Structure 1
């Protein structure tokens, strides 16, 4: 059984339709990549999962339970952790306070998060707004892990970051995968994303146009669906 399953999801921003039948699923312990050119519906799909975008029709199930129509905070408490596009750390809280504010009982603790991201241990008493963009992204991932999610969702996890920071974040994602963490990740860096992803879904104009294992996304398909 899939941990997360979207079936023929149609969503709207006001009167404007953004998704036209998106279907995808994530199984327990799997890393799934959600891809597509800019404006094709990736972030809208994530917003629909979390109840942040109005669902018109279709089904969204988490752990076998229909979650469409529930309030965002209730959806999050079911075991979904979000690292949103743009990071959105609490700027006037310290690193420690950002992490503790999100904490729920479970395997992930402050100690374990700073073992994954040692830079956060070095910056633990700094306010989030003083961190670099890469450090803020590490903090955003750590904050989501502190909720002890069954499914971690990363929206543009490495966008705009320096290569050395991207490398550190992809290494952390690989460690999470090795530990059995279920992950849905949106990212544009195919050379780093495809090796860690078990399966891929590609969106075009708000609908799913490709589903399959990473190795099935050939250079020709990459050019067709993801090329500039």
Structure 2
């Protein structure tokens, strides 16, 4: 059974159509990759899931409930945790304050987040705006986990980070997968993304043009849909 399922989603910005019947799903415990070149509809798909834009047609179900048209805060409370592109930590709160401000539920605690990202324990009392970009990304992931999400959405979580920090983020994603966390991830680093993904969906001009196992995404298909 799918935790998240989109069927025939069409989303517009005013008169301009951005999504044309997008379909994808995430099952319990899966890591699903949402892929495509820049401007092909990945962010609009995520915004449609989260209620930041309202699809004109199609259905979006999460945990068995239709969520298309609900307010974003209501959708989030159903168990969706977002790590947005650009991090967006609270700059004038400490690491600890950023994390506990998001706390909901009991599975993920400050100590659990520090186990995943030891650097955050070392920076516990530092303000978020004094952290490096990589540390802020760790904080953004930790903050999303503190909401105890059924589904974690990672939007370009490694973009612009130093290679050593990217490796730390991917190691954390692998640990989350091993623990059974459902994840929808957008990322361009195919060498890291494909080995961790259970299934992939590729968008081209707002249309789902590929869905399947990572090994079915041949070099030819990668070049056609993902090449620069």
TM-score grouping bracket, smaller chain normalisation: over 0.9
User: Where does residue 208 of structure 2 map in the other structure?
Assistant: 208
Is the partner of 1:9 in helix, strand or coil? Answer: strand
User: Which ranges of 4 or more aligned residues in structure 1 deviate by more than 4 Å?
Assistant: none
Residue by residue over 1:132-154, the C-alpha shift from the partner in whole angstroms, topping out at 9 and shown as x without a partner, is 11000000000000000000000
Shift of 1:101: 0.5
Shift of 1:17: 1.2
User: Where does residue 132 of structure 1 map in the other structure?
Assistant: 132
Gapped regions of structure 1 (runs ≥ 5): none
User: Where does residue 119 of structure 2 map in the other structure?
Assistant: 119
Residues 28-47 of structure 1 mapped to structure 2, 5 A cutoff: 28-47=28-47
Is the partner of 2:56 in helix, strand or coil? Answer: strand
- Counting matched residue pairs gives 228
Shift of 1:45: 0.3
In structure 2, C-alpha distance between the alignment counterparts of 1:42 and 1:194, rounded to whole Å: 17
Gapped regions of structure 2 (runs ≥ 5): none
In structure 2, C-alpha distance between the alignment counterparts of 1:35 and 1:130, rounded to whole Å: 32
Superposition RMSD on alpha carbons, in Å?
0.6
In structure 2, C-alpha distance between the alignment counterparts of 1:68 and 1:106, rounded to whole Å: 28
Is the partner of 1:191 in helix, strand or coil? Answer: helix
User: Where does residue 222 of structure 2 map in the other structure?
Assistant: 222
Retained in 2: the 8 A contact 1:13–1:54?
Answer: no
In structure 1, C-alpha distance between the alignment counterparts of 2:17 and 2:98, rounded to whole Å: 35
In structure 1, C-alpha distance between the alignment counterparts of 2:206 and 2:134, rounded to whole Å: 30
In structure 1, C-alpha distance between the alignment counterparts of 2:11 and 2:115, rounded to whole Å: 39
Confirm or deny that 1:105 pairs with 2:105: yes
User: Where does residue 21 of structure 1 map in the other structure?
Assistant: 21
Retained in 2: the 8 A contact 1:89–1:136?
Answer: yes
